[in-house]
Amino acid sequence: MTDILTILPNIYRTNPNLRSLLDRHSPSFDQCGLTTVDLVTLDPRSICQRARISLNDVNKIVDAIRDVLNAETLGGPVNAPTLRSGRSTPTGTPMGTPTGFGFGGGGGDVGVAGGVTNFRGRNMEALSRRQRVVGLGDEGFDAVLNGGFVTGSLVEVVGESGVGKTQLLLRLCFSIQQPPHNRSAIYICTESQISTKRMISMLDRLVSQEVEGYKSLSTDKIQTAMCQYPETLEHIVRYQLPIAIERFGVGLVVVDSIAANFRVVDDEAGDDLTSTRGGAKGRTAKLAKRAGDVVRLGMCLKEMAVKYNVAVVVANQVSDTFEPGWMRRNKGFMPPPPSSAPPASSFAAMAESIESSMGTQGMTQAQQQQGGSQEIPLAMMSQYGHPTDDLMMTYDYQAKWFTGWGEGIDDDDDIEDEVLLRALGKLKTPMLGMSWTNLLDGRVALVKGSAPRGSGGEAGEGEGGLVSEDGESEGRTRRWVKVVFAPWAESGVLLEYEIWEGGVRSVRELDTGGGEARDED
């Protein structure tokens, strides 16, 4: 519980004496849930009351923590002894005052003293030198992504199965090896076996191209790991990845996919709970716990991205959304959904509000309820898109702009492409919900749709999950990439792409140009 060592891993290096103190007292910190923030914000006396530790010890610990915090935020070398001795004297003063204003004058004085050197490395320029963009080697893609995936950030690639997420991620693993980066990649696979065959065929194809830098590509520089359980994943990310990153000179971490593990847990929960209706509460708790797990994992990934300046790209799946419960109650202005969905049980209605935020649960349920019919007609979608304005602050209303699906179905007269409209109009949502979305730096959605005559077969195809199957089957599958949000790229731009042996590439000549037309303005 106490997070001193996770937040400040360097604290013993700065303050070797602290080890014995912390060893002695961390159990009592644990017991009363005192975390690092508490230690620096609470009055030392109330800490010593709560934890039943002598004031002297509390002061020592708090002082040490403040020193390290100051050193870390202000960028001083943490283990430089001169800085430490310089700092420990001034921080001692404000500690005497019980209402001590945070970190006292110590941080200020030292920060100013060491300011010139510290801040030089801390300005924006330093960051922009550090930030690298991992492109995909395709003009169209890189234009849409404004260069590619940025290091130091956590980006999600979300899409239905078979839309080409893995292709894109594999291509990235090669991109990171190319000249500006020259680093290697770690590919963590949670779902299925790593498609090494695909990797090798992609490699062959890329090497055979006469492009500078492609010669040196190799699969040796892609470390792969398989991981089955959410706990394992978190453990790997938290403890083993940092070491691997340093050892292999990693510039890219791929997790394919993030939701798989959580979905497994979910199914279990669904099994024992759908049988008994009384389990709804337990299920809610489980969902909440899972949300916590997701957030912790996401935080780990984010921290790692920032700390080691790697690009973390995570694949995510979509689940089907279905008509929210509140809408069902307002049947007055809603025509019944034309799909063959049977009325949901009252139990489903109860748990629904959580589900629609969590996304994943919807997957299992929606599949049970709606059978295979994943194509929701456009007519319903436009109803969905016209909530009254007092619903504007609801998740369901706003979600279409950050999930990637459902935006501009009803109003976008500028999309003339029928297939694209259908693809965007599917009731899909990325898994793991809002709390996960908030962690992301960027989200890239891959949508696919097939020409109208193939739409009947589309429903059944969703379960297949054939990844490397190209869309040459009947009713040609077309795919678009869309930046849903990303701080460095313009959001909402659509681009049609296709999968080829060497990864993914944009389709240059568009027929009616739904995507391209939007692209230009």
Partner 1 sequence: MDPPSSMDYSRHRLPTQSAAAALATQLDQGYGSFTTGSEALDNSWGGTGLERGKLVEICGPPGSGKTAIALQLVADAVSKGEQVCWIDTLSQCPTSRLESIFAERKLESRVSSILRYQITSLAHFFAIVSHLTNSSMEISLIVIDDLSLLFTKEFPPASDAPQFQAAPNKGYEKQVDKRGRLVADIANRLQRLSASRMVAAVVLNQLATKAVRGGGPLELAPSVHSATNNWTHAFHHRILLLRKHIPKTDPPVDKRHLRFIFVLKSSGVDIQNTNMSRPDQFFVIKVTKSGVEDEKQQVFETLTGAILMAESFAASGENSEEHYGIGFSDSDEEAEVAHLPVGHLKRKRSTDTTSDIESRDNPAANVTNDTLGGNVDEDDDNTGQYSSDPVDLVPVAEALAGSDTDSFPILSQARRSHLHGETEQSKSNPLETVIPQKFGRTVVPDSDGESDDDVL
Map residues 52-91 to x or -, x wherever contact with partner 1 holds by CB under 8 A.
x------------xx--xx-xxxx----------------
Start-to-end C-alpha separation, the chain: 51
Backbone angles phi, psi at 176, to 5 degrees: -70, -20
Residue 364 or 437: which CB sits closer to partner 1? 437
- Binders of partner 1 among 106-125, rule CB under 8 A? 107-109, 111-112, 115, 119, 122-125
- Residue 462 C-alpha from the chain's centroid: 23
Residue 165 CB, nearest approach to partner 1 (Å): 19
* Contacting residues for 481 by C-beta, under 8 A, at least 6 apart: 141, 144, 444, 445, 446, 494, 495, 497, 504
User: What are the φ/ψ torsions at residue 338 (nearest 5 degrees)?
Assistant: -70, -15
- 377, two tokens: 């007609």
Q: Which of residues 174-233 bind partner 1 (CB under 8 A)?
A: none
Of the pair 23, 390, the CB lying nearest partner 1 is at 390
In the complex, minimum distance from the CB of residue 313 to partner 1, in angstroms, rounded to a whole number: 15
The least CB distance from residue 142 to partner 1, in Å, is 12
CB of 377 to partner 1, least distance (A): 19
- b/e code 337-347 from CB counts within 10 Å (16+ = b): bebebeebeeb
Tell me which stretch binds partner 1 (CB under 8 A): 100-108, 212-220, 244-252, 266-274: 100-108
The token duo for 14 is: 């700065």
- Region 357-416 residues binding partner 1, contact defined as CB under 8 A: 357, 385-398, 401-402, 408, 410-414
> Which C-beta is closer to partner 1: that of 111 or that of 164?
111
Would you say 12 or 401 has its CB closer to partner 1? 401
Amino acid at the residue 351? A
Q: Please, what is the minimum distance in Å from the beta carbon of residue 193 to partner 1?
A: 31
- CA dihedral sign of residues 226, 232, 236, 238: positive
The answer to whether residues 58 and 44 touch, using CB atoms and an 8 Å cutoff, is: yes
Nearest CB to partner 1, comparing residues 340 and 388: 388
User: What is the SS3 assignment for 186?
Assistant: strand
**Residue 242 within binding range of partner 1, rule CB under 8 A:** no
Q: In 3-state terms, what secondary structure has residue 1?
A: coil
Element containing residue 24 per DSSP (H, E): helix 18-31
Give me the least distance between CB of 160 and partner 1, in Å please: 21
Whether cis (ω within 30° of 0) applies to the bond prior to 184 is no
Identify which range of 199-207, 225-233, 262-270, 303-311 contacts partner 1 by CB under 8 A: 303-311
- Cβ at position 154, least distance to partner 1 in Å: 8
Selected range binding partner 1 among 158-166, 219-227, 285-293, 369-377, rule: CB under 8 A: 285-293
In the bound state with partner 1, the residue whose beta carbon lies nearer, of 402 and 480, is 402
Helix, strand or coil, per DSSP, at residue 164: coil
140 to 159: interface string for partner 1, x by CB under 8 A = ------xx--x-xxx-----
> Exposed, middle or buried, 127 (CB in 10 Å: 0-12/13-18/19+)?
exposed
Q: Between 34 and 169, name the residue whose CB sits nearer to partner 1.
A: 34
Judge residue 313's burial from the number of C-beta atoms within 10 Å of its C-beta, 0-12 exposed, 13-18 middle, 19 or more buried. Answer: buried
Q: Which residues in the 6-45 window bind partner 1 by CB under 8 A?
A: 7-8, 31-41
- When the beta carbons of 191 and 396 are compared against partner 1, the nearer one is 396
In the list 77, 242, 454, 492, the residue contacting partner 1 (rule: CB under 8 A) is 492
Judged by CB, which is closer to partner 1: 39, or 250? Answer: 39
Which tokens is 279 given? 């389990």
Q: Site residues for partner 1, window 449-488 (CB under 8 A)?
A: 484-488
Question: Least distance in Å: CB of 479 to partner 1?
Answer: 20
Nearer to partner 1, 191 or 323 (CB): 323
Using CB under 8 A, pick the residue from 20, 128, 275, 340 that binds partner 1.
128
Count residues near partner 1 (CB under 8 A): 121
Give the Å distances, CA to CA, from 517 to 174, 417, 494, 510.
Answer: 31, 10, 9, 9
Q: Which residues of 412-434 are buried (b: 16+ CB within 10 A; e: fewer)?
A: eeebebebbbbbbbbbbbbbbbb
Tell me whether residue 324 or residue 514 sits nearer to partner 1 (CB atom): 324
Closest separation between CB of residue 429 and partner 1, Å?
Answer: 12
Closest by Cα among 235, 296, 230 to 258: 230
Phi, psi of 312 (to 5 degrees): -105, 115
Region binding partner 1 by CB under 8 A among candidate stretches 193-201, 254-262, 281-289, 419-427:
281-289
**CA separation for the pair 265, 165 (Å, rounded):** 23
Nearer Cβ to partner 1 (423/467): 423
DSSP 8-state assignment for residue 2 = -
**Closest to 207 measured CA to CA, from 168, 174, 233:** 174
Tell me which residues in 320-339 interact with partner 1 (CB under 8 A).
324-327
